[in-house]
Amino acid sequence: WGCPQDCPVPRGADLSPLSFPPTVTSEQIEHLHRRFKQLSRDQLTIRKENFDSIPDLEFNPIRGKIVHAFFDKRNLRQESDGLVDEINFEDFLTIMSYFRPIEMNMDEEQLDRFRKEKLKFLFHMYDSDHDGKITLQEYRNVVEELLSGNPHLEKDSARSIADGAMLEAASICVGQMGPDQVYEGITFEDFLKMWQGIDIETKMHVRFLNMETIAHCY
Amino acid sequence: GERRGAMQPPAASPGPAASAGAELLRWQWREVQAPCLVAAWILVASLAKIVFHLSRKVTSVVPESCLLILLGLGLGGIVLAVAKKAEYQLEPNMFFLFLLPPIVLDSGYFMPSRLFFDNIGAILTYAVVGTLWNSFTTGAALWGLHQAGLMADPGIEAGLMDFLLFGSLISAVDPVAVLAVFEEVHVNETLFIIVFGESLLNDAVTVVLYKVFNSFVEQGPAHIHATDYMKGVASFFLVSLGGTAVGLLFAFLLALITRFTKRVRIIEPLFVFLLAYIAYLAAEMVSLSSILAVTFCGICCKKYVEANISQKSRTTVKYTMKTLASSSETIIFMFLGISAVDTSKWAWDTALVLGTLFFILLFRAVGVVLQTYVLNRFRLIPLDRIDQVVMSYGGLRGAVAFALVILLDGAKVKAKDYFVATTIVVVFFTVIVQGLTIKPLVTWLKVKRSDHHKPTLNEELHEHAFDHILAAVEDIVGHHGYHYWRDKWEQFDKKYLSQLLMRKSAYRLRDEIWDVYYKLNIRDAISFVDQGGHVLSAAKLALPSMPSRTSMSESSVTNLLRESGSGACLDLQVIDTVRSRRDKEDAAMHHVLRGSLYKPRRRYKASYSRHFISPDKQERQDKEIFRQNMKRRLETFKSTKHNVCSSKSKARLKEKGRKKASAPQPPPLDTLNGKTHRNVPWQEAAPVLVMVSSEEEESDSSETEREDDEGIVFIARATDEVLQGKTTPVPLTTPTSASPGSLDVCPSPCIIPPSPTLAEKELPWKGDQADLAVYVSSETTKIVPVDMQKAWNQSISSLESIASPPGTESGPQHRRFACPVLEEQPQSASQVMSEQSSCFQFPSHVSKSGRSQSDSSPDGMEQQELQPLMATEEPGRMLPATEQRWLMFNRASHL
């Protein structure tokens, strides 16, 4: 386990149909591994508390959700649902692989998968009760957290914004609803619809994984 | 003022004193000549624009800049033919001092700053490295051409320095030309910002190179020392960073000043223009890059300035800026055309012209490819080949090059005339040929276009979430990348800069998410007012299941209602004491009407005109109105979302409808209802809650008489939760809940009868107050924050007097039936009548009376929300006459 090169493949990478070949280089993995050890204080796993030691994270309004995402089994490509208490380096890499940048040589299908992967991650972050739907309440929570950085916006505003967003989502996803129809929440399909036309793949990525994409580690 | 003639001070005209006594009228052309010519030229250019745009075919193919240049050529030819000499010309001084600043300010101020800074690396690379590369290679290649003896004309006396000088001025991509062409092409925003940003930022490089080479040429190659080169390099940093610093300084000042303009709103826009212009002049004065100064001034001040100044000032700034920039651009292109006619400045050399054209195209392409290759190793979103083609091809040259070449000193730069001619050809070629072909090229290459979708709230929310997520991930992996620094900057900005530069009140609401929300609301509200249905269909925010206003035969129903209102009143009046089948039918009809009619448009209009006209309150009002608007739609949505109409109630409604249909047509109103009814299947309208406003009681005349008109005030749909007294945070309300009437009701006691059907049968306005089943729903409290209610009520009450026609003032004010104002997607006619649309009026007295109550009403707290629901248990309580009543029917299934 000590050698990062031995275990670069995110678990389940080849199990999930949506998975993609990880293109993280050994160099990056080493870097990440160093960081991982730093965070975990040389333990094999990271627990939630470890993230508290990152000072810059403190001001992040949605840090709770982000940290949560690291321990979300759905994001870790595990079959079961729920949360894990601790993640090992593999899991850490798996999460990080969501933030890989797009690659030049990706074909349409890969791009589509890539995009879905990223959106799934985001979706799971919003869907805090794991029921496959972002309900109004969940959405409100997110918006409230997002706006919590601004002390001048009251909760009411956050609420109405979330409501407005939800309304918008419903109109995008369902179109006209019959009077009896109930829009319970944003499903992943709806989520995809909402993201149509927005290049998430060009947005949700972080530089650290783009240093070099030559060596594919399997 | 760019004509030579205009520059001359009015020559000695006959002194007014000389003949003042004798003349009634006096020809004073000379005194007004200069401004008159300026005005005339601008007028000509503007009229020409109108003419161009008469034909959409032409403008969709030919960029306006081309047309203007051609027009200029034509006008120049006419002037030449008439005056026998080229009279007018684009003067460099005029260009740099008056024509260029508005364009640069406009582009800086309205630069999408986020996009700009996201791509700042690429932009800077292309602007600095690219321009340097272009200058040197073009200059050197032309020199090589000259050395090779390919330039036929022996008159070209130019050394390497001359060619490098020429290369520096000819190689800079021109912001005016790029903007003019790319604005019509609509390539994707990243591509646009890179090309455009480059054209703005390369000014520093151009200025420095131009000055350095100019001084070299003037000194003569022999006197150039190594230190001069070093100075050149140093001056680049000085000019660019200095220009930027000047811009930032003035941006800071500007933001600070606008923080204190609260009482002098009217001159707010002036400050924006003045300070930006002073920044430009200041930079020019110390020979720093003035374009950079204005660009950065615009980019950086915008956030704070926009927050500080009033909405009107914002609009003023926007329009003035656009007007100025647009007219500047027009004049520039037209005078480029006119100037070209002046053959006295031309000296043609085919080899030089063709060589220049070839080299600038070639080296631009090579430069772009090389730089992109390097950049793509760092960029997260690589620029692909198609992007590179467009970038290479989009390197348009324009008026800046022309002005610079005119500025050359003919005595020192011997080949000036050749350079002028070449520059003119290059500018014409790039603007006309490339401008004409870039659109087909973009189409042919299938360049990713920018989709002009309006910002959606979700998008903004997600983008924000992204920023935080990415920053967090960078934090977690310990990488201090772009997101990390952006995050840091935002924190700094929030903590210090915004506090310092923004008004407290402005800072309060200055949040991007809020901003989008706000804008969407404005848009909705405007489209709400706007009767052209297209806006609505375009609006992404369309409510599900909202009937379209177009499908709703607004003319028929509404107008009929209006026309027949009085007659109906009278007729219904007669029956009002007897509860009969007809009575019930009336009730049913009322409900149908309620369900199918829309909010009175007039009120909205009134509120709008008011909001645009009235200086005070305006800001608050528009905010509240928009919020309200949003709320209303939202509530509709929610009710849709949560409403589970039992089939039973539907069935009952249907039955009634049938009954009603079979009934003999009573008064005109009824007939009308019948019509409506036909259009609207009952199942569509499943109103659960009907709120009846009993304002009439307040009005002096007997209320019963015109009850029918306004009795049908609201249909609210009850969600299961509310009905059952659940504590769902989501209130089930229809748009009506947003109406002031319902707002007012909240605090009042509420009584819900055990059986809704009973309520249905009893027309509240007909029967005695005592046997009315009346309840006041206080859910509404929850829906609309108290302050909003207040503001709303105020605005409504203030509007009342305006909105109501003078004749009806004393009488039933509710008579005003809504013109269907519907912001939603068109639906089939059959759906028109869905219960969500409602017609209601806001009687002023009611809103007034309700205001105080709503003020004290609890807001948003669940307990309080619940109370009214609990109260529903006790039936039969009566409302004070001034209260509005909620009529419930079809509720049985829920209760």
**Cα torsion B681, B684, B688, B691: sign:** negative
Per-residue model confidence (pLDDT) at position A202: 65
Q: Report angle CA B492, B493, B499 to the nearest 5 degrees.
A: 110
Ranges in chain A, pLDDT < 70:
1-27, 77-79, 102-106, 149-153, 175-182, 197-218
Q: Which residue has the higher pLDDT, B231 or B617?
A: B231
Q: Which residues contact B156 (CB under 8 A, 6 or more apart)?
A: B146, B349, B352, B414, B415, B418
Instruction: Please tell me the distance from the alpha carbon of residue A51 to that of residue A64, in angstroms, as a whole number.
Output: 10
| Residues ≥6 apart with Cβ < 8 Å to A90 | A7, A9, A10, A11
Looking at CA atoms only, how far is residue A212 from chain B in angstroms?
A: 8
pLDDT value of position B85 = 74
**Of A98, A118, A136, which closes a domain?**
A98
pLDDT in the model for residue B298: 92
Residue A136 corresponds to which tokens in the numbers above? 């109004």
- Same-domain check for residues A130 and A196: yes
Residue A83 included in any domain: yes
Rounded to the nearest angstrom, the minimum Cα separation between A125 and chain B is: 10
A113 and A94 together in one domain: no
Asked if residue B323 and residue B295 are part of one domain, the reply reads: yes
| A114 and A191 inside one domain | yes
The pLDDT of residue B63 is above 50: yes
Amino acid at residue number B871:
A
B404 shares a domain with B507? no
- The H-or-E segment that residue B709 falls in is helix B703-711
Report the C-alpha gap between A85 and A43 in whole angstroms. 14
Do residues A37 and A118 share a domain? no
With cut-offs at 50, 70 and 90, classify the pLDDT of residue B593.
low
- List, as one string, the DSSP characters of B519-586: HHHHHHHHHHH---THHHHH-TTPPTTPPPTTTS-HIIIIIHHHHHHHHHHHHHHHHTTS--HHHHHH
Considering the domain architecture, whether residues B338 and B479 belong to the same structural domain is answered as: no
Give the residue, B794 or B285, on which the prediction is more confident. Answer: B285
CB contact under 8 A, A164 and B729: no
- As a whole number, mean pLDDT of residues B859-869 equals 40
| Mean of all residue pLDDT scores within chain B | 66
Q: Do the chains contact at B511 and A147, CB–CB below 8 Å?
A: yes
pLDDT at B280 over 90: yes
3-state DSSP assignment of residue B689: strand
Relative to beta strand A133-134, strand B885-888 is unpaired
Give how far Cα A190 sits from Cα of A154, A187, B677, Å: 29, 5, 35
| Cα B220 off chain centre by | 54
Q: How far is A81 from chain B (nearest CA, A)?
A: 22
Residue window 511-530, chain B: list those with CB within 8 Å of chain A.
511, 513-514, 517, 520-521
Task: Answer whether residue B716 is part of any domain.
Answer: no
Tell me, yes or no, if A27 comes closer than 8 A to chain B by beta carbon.
Answer: no
The pLDDT assigned to B818 comes to 38
Query: Are residue A152 and residue A174 in the same domain, yes or no?
Result: yes
pLDDT for res B732: 40
Cα–Cα distance for residue pair B730/B722, rounded to 1 Å: 9
Among A33, A49, A52, A56, most B C-beta atoms within 10 A, so best to mutate, is A56
Structure tokens at B505: 């009140």
A-B contacts at Cβ under 8 angstroms: 208
B518, B417: one domain:
no
Q: Tell me what pLDDT residue B321 has.
A: 92
Q: How many CA atoms lie within 13 A of B214 on its CB side?
A: 17
The pLDDT of residue B172 = 82
Q: Are residues A66 and A146 in the same domain?
A: no
d(CA A134, CA A126): 6
Indicate whether A159 belongs to any domain.
yes
B482 and B336 in a single domain? The answer is no
Do A117 and A198 belong together in one domain? yes
Q: What is the mean pLDDT of residues B218-246?
A: 84
Instruction: Give the residue from B475, B495, B530 where a domain finishes.
Output: B530
Burial of A109 (0-12, 13-18, 19+ CB in 10 A): exposed
Q: What angle do CA A192, B190, A119 make, to 5 degrees?
A: 20
Q: In three state form, how does the secondary structure of A90-152 look?
A: HHHHHHHHCCCCCCCCCCHHHHHHHHHHHHHHHHHHHCCCCCCEECHHHHHHHHHHHHCCCCC
In a domain, B254, yes or no: yes
- The CA distances from residue B348 to A204, B69, B138, B151, B419, in Å, are 54, 20, 19, 11, 9
Find out whether B597 and B820 touch, Cβ atoms under 8 Å: yes
Same domain, A160 and A192: yes
pLDDT reading at B806 higher than 90: no
Whether residue A215 lies inside any domain: the answer is no
Distance of CA B251 to the CA centre of its chain: 23
> Which H helix or E strand runs over B437?
helix B435-445
- What sign for the dihedral angle of Cα B749, B753, B756, B758? negative
Q: Please name which of B511, B514, B357, B507 lies closest in space to residue B427, comparing C-alpha atoms.
A: B357
Residue B471 CB contacts under 8 Å (≥ 6 apart), including other chains: A56, A60, B483, B484, B486, B487
Q: Residue B365's pLDDT is what?
A: 92
The alpha-carbon gap from A57 to the nearest alpha carbon of chain B, in Å, equals 6
pLDDT tens digits, one per residue of B13-26: 444 444 556 677 88
CA distance B855 to B843: 18
Domain CATH for B139: 1.20.1530.20
Q: Which of B594-603, B615-624, B681-690 has the lowest mean pLDDT?
A: B681-690
Domain C-terminal end among B497, B514, B530: B530
State the Cα–Cα distance between residues B405 and B170, nearest whole angstrom.
9
Q: Please name the residue of chain A whose CA is at the shortest distance from the CA of residue B542.
A: A171
- All residues of chain B having their beta carbon less than 8 Å from the beta carbon of residue A169 are 458
Please tell me if residue A46 touches chain B, with a CB cutoff of 8 Å. no
Who among A56, A197, A202 is closest to B381 (CB)?
Answer: A202
A60 and A135 together in one domain: no
Model pLDDT, residue B251 = 93
Whether residue B444 is predicted with pLDDT greater than 60 in this model: the reply is: yes
What is the span of the domain harbouring residue B518?
457-530
Instruction: List, in sequence order, every residue forming a beta bridge with B886; answer none if it has no partner.
Output: B691, B775
Q: Is residue B333 part of a domain?
A: yes
Contacts of B482 in chain A (CB under 8 A): 207
Q: Is residue B360 part of a domain?
A: yes
The answer to whether residues B430 and B478 belong to one domain is: no
Under a CB-based contact definition with an 8 Å cutoff, are residues A92 and A36 in contact? yes
Task: Look up residue B396 and give its DSSP letter.
Answer: -
Whether B373 and B469 share a structural domain: no
Chain B within 8 Å of A62 (Cβ-Cβ)? yes
Q: Does residue A150 sit at the B interface (CB-CB below 8 Å)?
A: yes
Domain membership of residue B27 (yes or no) is: no
Total domains in chain B come to 2
| Residues within 8 A of A (CB atoms), B 377-406 only | 380-382, 384
Alpha carbon of A15: minimum distance to chain B alpha carbons (Å): 25
Q: Is residue B191 part of a domain?
A: yes
Residue type, A214: I
Q: What DSSP state is assigned to residue B451?
A: P
Residue where a domain stops, chosen among B530, B549, B569: B530
Q: Say whether both B126 and B201 belong to one domain.
A: yes
Pick from A70, A98, A126: which residue ends a domain?
Answer: A98
Higher pLDDT, B88 or B804: B88
Question: For residue B537, is it within any domain?
Answer: no
pLDDT at B277: 94
Question: pLDDT digit string (tens) for B466-502?
Answer: 778 887 877 777 767 777 788 888 888 878 888 788 8
**Cα torsion B196, B202, B207, B209: sign:** negative
A74 in a structural domain: yes
For the ranges A187-191, B10-14, B383-387, B459-463, the lowest mean pLDDT is seen at B10-14
Contact call for residues B101 and B126 (beta carbons, < 8 A): no
Residue A43 domain boundaries: 26-98
Which one has a higher pLDDT value, B305 or B838?
B305
B798 touches chain A (CB under 8 A): no
Q: How far apart are CA A169 and CA A104, in angstroms?
A: 32
CATH code of the domain containing A158 = 1.10.238.10
Give the DSSP letter of residue B99: I
Instruction: Tell me the C-alpha distance between B419 and B424, whole Å.
Output: 8
pLDDT classification of B279: cutoffs 50, 70, 90: very high
- Predicted confidence at residue B153, as pLDDT, reads 64
User: CA angle A166-B110-B324, nearest 5°?
Assistant: 135
Burial class from Cβ neighbours inside 10 Å (0-12, 13-18, 19+) for residue B537 reads middle
Contacts of B456 in chain A (CB under 8 A): 168, 172, 194
What pLDDT does residue A181 have?
65
Same domain, B270 and B360: yes
- Same domain for A199 and A113? yes
Chain B residues touching residue A59 (CB < 8 angstroms): 487, 491
Domain count, chain A: 2
Considering only CB atoms, A62 lies closest to which of B468, B540, B683, namely B468
Model ipTM value: 0.82
pLDDT above 50 (res B835): no
Across residues B7-16, what is the average pLDDT?
Answer: 42
CA distance B3 to B87: 7
Which of A60, B306, B296 shows the shortest CA–CA distance to A51? A60
Residue A51: inside a domain, yes or no?
yes
